[in-house]
Amino acid sequence: MPIHTPWYQGPLHYPNAEMIQVIFTPTMKCMERILPKPLKPGLLGGAYLANFRNSPFGPMWEASVVLQCTYKDRYGVYCVCQYTDNDISVAAHREIWGFPSKLAQLKYRRTGDHITARVIRDKVALMAFDVKLTGPGDWIDTGAAINLKVIPSVDGEGYDVKQFTAANLVTVVHEGKAGDGKIKFGRTDKDPLADIFELENVIAGTWFRIDLTCPYGEVLGPAKTEAPD
């Protein structure tokens, strides 16, 4: 939409992008509380922030927090929250795949192999990254991007769409580094990240230069649990 001048269509291609990641181990209670049934917890979680300088919508930034999970025999990562500075990207990610995307300000600074970044919404730093790269890094295949896609009904009674979706992102890695990483979560009433995430430890910080494609996906099945607000 709008029908006469559609805003977007997939797949989405992001060539020559840069991405930092902080990989962590959430507590099992955190995983079980966040993941909607019937998703089952994996072991790891991660926060990333990407510079999609050649996106279909022009230069943009994006950040997300994901948790490893399984849906029956399907392995992947569930996107808990996503932030971007591009309104077309918000609409495309929500309406096609069901990513829980919101607008925010994303700030990034790199000095040599030290990278800091923040995701700011309502003047609060919801995510603060600190990555110090010390050597080469390998990309981890996280499986499918799994989302709970919900669209409320116009009469306010339930949902027109309420389903689990999956898409297998395609990544070509050109360069990778790894080292130490830190992630700090903030909170607001509508984005209580510091209250949602409980971490046992942080495993690593990484940086990659990649080509990324988000293809069309598939419906895994209907969601029977109540969708989060």
User: Would you give per-residue pLDDT tens digits along the chain (229 residues)?
Assistant: 788 888 888 899 999 999 999 999 999 999 999 999 999 999 999 999 999 999 999 999 999 999 999 999 999 999 999 999 999 999 999 999 999 999 999 999 999 999 999 999 999 999 999 999 999 999 999 999 999 999 999 999 999 999 999 999 999 999 999 999 999 999 999 999 999 999 999 999 999 999 999 999 999 999 975 544 4
Provide the whole-model pTM. 0.94
Number of neighbouring beta carbons within 10 Å of residue 67: 24
Burial class (CB in 10 A: 0-12, 13-18, 19+), 36: middle
Q: Tokens standing for 23? A: 């990989």
* Rounded distance between C-alpha atoms, residue 116 and residue 182, angstroms: 9
Q: Label residue 58 left, alpha or beta by phi (over 0 means left) and psi (-120 to 50 means alpha).
A: left
- The phi and psi torsions of 85 (rounded to 5 degrees) equal -105, 20
Q: Tokens standing for 112? A: 């040599």
Q: Label residue 202 left, alpha or beta by phi (over 0 means left) and psi (-120 to 50 means alpha).
A: beta
Report pLDDT for 38: 95
Name which of 41, 18, 22 is nearest 131 in CA terms: 22
Report pLDDT for 208: 98
User: Which residues, in sequence order, are CB contacts of 110 under 8 Å at separation 6+?
Assistant: none
Report pLDDT for 74: 95
Report pLDDT for 225: 53
User: Which residues, in sequence order, are CB contacts of 189 under 8 Å at separation 6+?
Assistant: none
Looking up tokens 């919101």 gives 102
Report pLDDT for 145: 98
Report pLDDT for 4: 87
* Rounded distance between C-alpha atoms, residue 164 and residue 187, angstroms: 27
- According to DSSP, the residues that pair with 147 across neighbouring strands are 165
Report pLDDT for 2: 84
- CATH class of the domain at 12-221: mainly beta
